[in-house]
Amino acid sequence: MTDPAGLSRKRGALLFTHHTDLSMHTDRPLKFNTRAVHAGQSPDPATGAIMTPIYQTSTFVQKSPGVFVEDYDYSRGANPTRTAFQDNIASLENAKHGLAFSSGVAATGAVIHLLSAGDHVILCDDVYGGTNRLYNRVFAQLGIEISMVDLTDEAAYRAAFRDSTKLVWIETPTNPTLKIVDIEKAASIARERGAICAVDNTFATPYLQNPLDMGAHIVCHSTTKYIGGHSDAIGGVLCANDEEIYQRLKFIQLSEGAVPGIQECFLFLRSTKTLGLRMERHCANAAKIADHLASHPAVDRVVYPGMASHPQHAIAKKQMRDFGGMITIFLKGGLAAAKTMLERVEIFALAESLGGVESLIEHPAIMTHASVPADQRAKLGIDDALVRLSVGIEDADDLIADLDGALV
């Protein structure tokens, strides 16, 4: 070997072939779990490593000024580990394109940056508290106009449109009251009115629901939740099919630089491989627990999209493959009972966030939704008796015993 450096650069050039389009390997479209394990990845041609390496590099050597491999000149713009994750998640959302961000909120902010001062947004009224705060306390100051609307009320939704409406932001199931918005209907109305429709799909995940197939333009995830699934990384992602929207979002990703670290991209890529398996257990456990809590004497009301008593159960059945791992309960004893329960649980951990393998429990009015003004919380029904459960993948019987022991 007279020129090992030159050889490694040559090998490097071979590395960057990503097989996003797995359909080329078969006549039949590949199913979710196969795509989850393989999409966006191929064995490293230099070493045969089955996992995409962590390309922990900020920059890439150029052969001649402006001549580099694919689009790899600087890792804020592109990095092979990130490309593999972006292609993988895009495949799971039936999207042409994926873009990864440093958090779910950063991904949300990138979508809002498609707008200009004076543009109007219809924002689902019951969104994650941080999304509410970002729209109403950061972007409203920059001249973006916002209407918070109950998107389960079609008349109210239609009435909220203005000539300047450029974006409809949907979250479904909503956080924390688990309302279900009819994505197909909401997206088709947004399209009729010339607005972009974005769906925060964090609670459902691509395993349960694919909003782009229902007419949405953009899907957003906090990958911190189910996609990461192990409560060990913060991240976000956007997926889109529309070429113009994708190019604009990619420009924002590059220009604002809110990109994830390379280690995080690797962790998310590792985690999507088990997303389907984990979601099946999350859903099965949650259904069992929701059923149990519905007849518990300390519980006033259980909200779970899989229950026939849920007001939008029919829509959930239509657009979701299963009903997810999130449950909301209202306790008969109000705040005092909620505090006692949250202090007494032993397997459920009292913590913000959701979607990890471990079960979490929290009090939205004091914790995740504290930044939502009190009058808005009251209107949405996020009261002191409301407790939110993120059901993990432990054994359901142990989780039920834990909740029974904590409820008074």
Ligand X SMILES: Cc1ncc(COP(=O)(O)O)c(C=O)c1O
User: Which residues are at the interface with ligand X (CB under 6 A)?
Assistant: 103-105, 128, 130-131, 171, 175, 200, 202-203, 222, 224, 234, 236
Q: How far is the CB of 376 from ligand X (least distance, A)?
A: 17
Vertex 6, ends 2 and 11: CA angle to 5°? 115
Instruction: Give the residue closest to ligand X by C-beta.
Output: 104
Query: Measured between alpha carbons, how far is 354 from 106 in angstroms, rounded to an integer?
Result: 18
* Cβ atoms of residues 350 and 343 within 8 Å: yes
Residue with tokens 């394109």: 97
Tokens representing 122 are: 């219809």
Q: How far is the CB of 230 from ligand X (least distance, A)?
A: 14
**Residue 40 or 173: which CB sits closer to ligand X?**
173
**Residue 104 or 211: which CB sits closer to ligand X?**
104
**Residue 85 or 203: which CB sits closer to ligand X?**
203
**Residue 52 or 201: which CB sits closer to ligand X?**
201
Query: Measured between alpha carbons, how far is 170 from 182 in angstroms, rounded to an integer?
Result: 10
Query: Measured between alpha carbons, how far is 186 from 395 in angstroms, rounded to an integer?
Result: 37
* Cβ atoms of residues 128 and 175 within 8 Å: yes
Angle between helices 243-256 and 104-112 (to 10 degrees): 120
Question: Which residues lie below 8 Å from residue 244, measured CB to CB, with a gap of 6+?
Answer: none
* Cβ atoms of residues 225 and 352 within 8 Å: no
**Residue 302 or 354: which CB sits closer to ligand X?**
354
Q: How far is the CB of 203 from ligand X (least distance, A)?
A: 6
Q: How far is the CB of 83 from ligand X (least distance, A)?
A: 21
Residues designated catalytic: 76, 128, 200, 225
Q: Are strands 165-171 and 120-124 parallel, antiparallel or unpaired?
A: parallel
**Residue 190 or 204: which CB sits closer to ligand X?**
204
Tokens representing 56 are: 């922990």
Report how far apart the first and last C-alpha atoms of the chain are (Å, whole number). Answer: 74
User: CA dihedral in degrees (161, 97, 263, 225; nearest 10)?
Assistant: 40
* Cβ atoms of residues 380 and 405 within 8 Å: no
Query: Measured between alpha carbons, how far is 248 from 250 in angstroms, rounded to an integer?
Result: 5
Beta bridge partners of 38: none
Q: Which burial class, exposed, middle or buried, applies to 235 when counting CB atoms under 10 A from its CB (0-12, 13-18, 19+)?
A: buried
**Residue 187 or 299: which CB sits closer to ligand X?**
187
Q: How far is the CB of 249 from ligand X (least distance, A)?
A: 16
Q: How far is the CB of 155 from ligand X (least distance, A)?
A: 26
Q: How far is the CB of 131 from ligand X (least distance, A)?
A: 6
